[in-house]
Amino acid sequence: MTVHNLTVFIGAAIIAVSFAAPASHAQNANPQLLSISCAGCHGPEGRSPATIPPLYGRSAASIAEALRAFRADQRPATVMNRIAKGYTDAEIDGVAREIAANWK
């Protein structure tokens, strides 16, 4: 991983946390804004440049299922378990639909 990629990676993590943090006590965040934080690691339109799994071409159901499994610590993870814990059910469904509809 180059220094630039690392910077993008860390930046995306911070964005993800800052989008996700208010979810538990405020209204659900806009799915399009949420998907921007996913693109920071998973690449533009889910076409990730490196070892992070791509998200394009996936169904909303499979993305939502993976996020719920990460949130429940039922799927091995390095970062997705922490990210997913910041999302409500409505936000998981919203961002999954947003990605499936736009990242073909």
Residue type, 35: S
- Position 29 contacts ligand HEC (CB under 6 A): no
Question: C-beta of 77: minimal distance to ligand HEC in Å?
Answer: 3
Residue type, 100: A
Total residues interacting with ligand HEC, rule: CB under 6 A: 23
- Position 38 contacts ligand HEC (CB under 6 A): yes
- Choosing from 43, 63, 93, 100, the residue that interacts with ligand HEC (CB under 6 A) is 63
- Position 34 contacts ligand HEC (CB under 6 A): yes
Query: What's the rounded Cα separation, in Å, for the pair 26 and 63?
Result: 23
Q: Which of 96, 6, 97, 104 is nearest to 49 (CA)?
A: 6
